[in-house]
Amino acid sequence: MKKKSLGERLKSLFQRGVESEELFEELEDNLIEADIGPRVTMEVVSELRERTRQERLSGREALLGALKDILAGYLKQTELALVPEVLNVFLVLGVNGVGKTTTIAKMADFYRRKKEVEGVVLAAGDTFRAAAIDQLELHGSRLGIRTLSQAPGADPGAVIFDALISARAQGDRLVLADTAGRMHNRANLVAELQKIHRIVESRCPDCSYRKILVIDATTGQNGLQQAEIFHDAVGVDAVVLAKYDSTARGGILITLGHRLGLPCAFIGRGEKYEDLLPFDPDMYLNELLGLI
């Protein structure tokens, strides 16, 4: 059975006209169910309680309006605009299976088609899995975008270094680099990412270099743990929420914004290239809370 969305749950909660304390308790459960996470939920609900009391709020509209306002203060957004005149490097991070390769292809398509950026290239930095290299190359050939890769097992730092040299030589504007995401071997993963990070920083000091973390909307609060690991390892600049095809969950963006200060740049809502949308906090909150 399809899980009810937070918006649907809130609607029935308000329709029942429950007393305020019961309402706040149920609201807590509902926000946790929507992946906002217990700690952030407690803060949200206590702020809402306080505002309800101080501003004497009552009724669905006033309460949902205040809730939306509080959540908006927790959410962070970034446009991830390309810096002109320099080579932009996006190192794309994430655990295997979250939708990283697909997201790279979607972003390449987005910048080229929507932003009319010429000279977008892909770098196959997940050399651990032969399938990841093949998949990136397949996307590259479908999109007519150059993919720079080496044989499986090659040093990912070398692949990305070569990609930077090649992109500079060709006057490209954007390198989207894939990375491995083997979570079961966390120490190796972190060491490898730190090495790549040092290479990009030292070999391309005049590049605009950003680290983008892909989070799977269906993995719930695991997303917070994943973000902490990648953020600690190399520092994350922006998040892409993949597989956000339904609004049943997705509150993780509020947790990531509030706990780690991480802004969201895009959300992925399907498997097609055009299913990547720039993150719109107002639309996201309206959908999450069932306000549309």
Give the interface with ligand GDP as residue ranges (CB under 6 A): 94, 96-102, 242-243, 245, 268-271, 275
Closest approach, Cβ 288 to ligand GDP, in A, equals 17
Please, are residues 266 and 107 in contact by the beta-carbon 8 Å criterion?
Answer: yes
Closest approach, Cβ 155 to ligand GDP, in A, equals 20
Closest approach, Cβ 18 to ligand GDP, in A, equals 35
Closest approach, Cβ 178 to ligand GDP, in A, equals 7
Nearer to ligand GDP, 228 or 245 (CB): 245
Nearer to ligand GDP, 161 or 266 (CB): 266
Nearer to ligand GDP, 74 or 244 (CB): 244
Closest approach, Cβ 27 to ligand GDP, in A, equals 28
Nearer to ligand GDP, 69 or 271 (CB): 271
Pick from 164, 227, 225, 151: which is nearest to 197 by CA?
Answer: 164
At 243, list the tokens: 């597989």
- What is the C-alpha to C-alpha distance for residues 136 and 122, in angstroms, rounded to an integer? 8
Nearer to ligand GDP, 100 or 210 (CB): 100
Cα distances (angstroms) measured from residue 110 to each of 26, 118, 269, 290: 40, 11, 14, 28
- What is the C-alpha to C-alpha distance for residues 199 and 179, in angstroms, rounded to an integer? 14
Please, are residues 291 and 14 in contact by the beta-carbon 8 Å criterion?
Answer: no
Please, are residues 212 and 90 in contact by the beta-carbon 8 Å criterion?
Answer: yes
Q: C-alpha angle with apex 76: 75 to 78, nearest 5 degrees? A: 150
Closest approach, Cβ 183 to ligand GDP, in A, equals 11
Nearer to ligand GDP, 39 or 142 (CB): 142
First vs last Cα of the chain: how many Å apart?
A: 23
Closest approach, Cβ 243 to ligand GDP, in A, equals 4
In angstroms, how far apart are the furthest CA atoms of the chain?
67
Strand partners, 269: none
Nearer to ligand GDP, 180 or 224 (CB): 180
- What is the C-alpha to C-alpha distance for residues 217 and 195, in angstroms, rounded to an integer? 28
